[in-house]
A = this chain, B = another copy of it.
Amino acid sequence: MFSRYFPILKWAPNYNREAFSADAIAAVIVTIMLIPQSLAYALLAGLPPEIGLYASIAPLVIYTVFGTSMTLAVGPVAVTSLMTASAVGELMTQGTPEYLGAAIVLALISGIILIVMGIARLGFLANFLSHPVISGFITASAAIIAISQMKHIFGIDIHGHNLIEQITSLISGLPNANLATMAIGAAAIGFLVWSRHRLTPKLMQIGFSKQMAGSASKAAPVVAVIATTVAVWALELQSAGVAIVGDIPRGLPTPALPAFNTELWSMLFLPALMIGIVGYVETISVAQTLAAKRRERIDPDQELIAMGAANVGAAASGGFPVTGGFSRSIVNFDAGARTPAAGALTAIGIAIATLFLTPLLFLLPKATLAATIIVAVLTLIDVETIKRTWLYSKSDFAAMLGTIIGTLIFGVEIGITIGVLLSLILFLARTSRPHVAIVGRVPETEHYRNIKRHDVETFPSVLSIRIDESLYFPNARFLEDTVNETISGRPEIRDVILMCSAVNSIDASALESLHHINLRLKDAGVLLHLSEVKGPVMDRLKRSPFLTELSGQVFLSQFEADQRLQDKNTLPSI
A residues neighboring B (CB under 8 Å): 124, 127-133, 292, 300, 388-389, 391-393, 395-396, 423-424, 427-428, 430-435, 437, 442, 445-447, 449-450, 453, 468-470, 472-478, 501-505, 507-509, 511-512, 516, 520, 534-536, 540, 543-545, 556-557, 559-560
Report 15 cross-chain contacts, Cβ distance below 8 Å, ordered by A residue.
A124-B432, A124-B433, A124-B478, A128-B473, A130-B509, A392-B540, A396-B508, A430-B505, A431-B470, A437-B535, A442-B556, A447-B557, A447-B559, A468-B504, A469-B504
A535 touches B453 (CB 8 A): yes
A477: chain B residues within 8 A (beta carbon): 124, 127, 300
Q: A128-B473, A447-B557 are in contact. Are A544 and B504 (CB under 8 A)?
A: no
Kindly report which residue of chain B lies nearest to residue A435, judged by CB atoms: B536
Kindly report which residue of chain B lies nearest to residue A557, judged by CB atoms: B447
Min CB distance A444 to B, Å, is 10
A512: chain B residues within 8 A (beta carbon): 131
A124: chain B residues within 8 A (beta carbon): 432-433, 474, 477-478
State how many copies of this chain the complex holds: 2
A445: chain B residues within 8 A (beta carbon): 446, 557, 559-560
B511 touches A392 (CB 8 A): yes
A534 touches B468 (CB 8 A): yes
Q: A391-B544, A543-B391 are in contact. Are A502 and B502 (CB under 8 A)?
A: yes
Given A127-B478, A502-B503, 20 more A-B residue pairs with CB atoms under 8 Å apart are A124-B474, A124-B478, A127-B475, A129-B473, A130-B473, A130-B507, A130-B508, A130-B509, A131-B509, A388-B508, A396-B507, A396-B509, A424-B424, A430-B505, A431-B504, A442-B557, A446-B447, A446-B559, A468-B504, A501-B501
Min CB distance A284 to B, Å, is 8
Q: A130-B508, A430-B505, A508-B132 are in contact. Are A543 and B392 (CB under 8 A)?
A: yes
Interface hub of A129, A133, A391, A470 (most chain B Cβ within 10 A): A470
Interface hub of A433, A469, A509 (most chain B Cβ within 10 A): A509
Q: A430-B505, A445-B557, A544-B392 are in contact. Are A474 and B127 (CB under 8 A)?
A: yes
- Give the distance in Å from the alpha carbon of A520 to the alpha carbon of B294 in the complex: 11
A543: chain B residues within 8 A (beta carbon): 391-392
B502 touches A504 (CB 8 A): yes
- Give the distance in Å from the alpha carbon of A560 to the alpha carbon of B130 in the complex: 34
Q: A473-B131, A474-B128, A557-B445 are in contact. Are A501 and B504 (CB under 8 A)?
A: no
- Give the distance in Å from the alpha carbon of A446 to the alpha carbon of B292 in the complex: 36
Min CB distance A478 to B, Å, is 7
Interface hub of A127, A423, A475 (most chain B Cβ within 10 A): A127
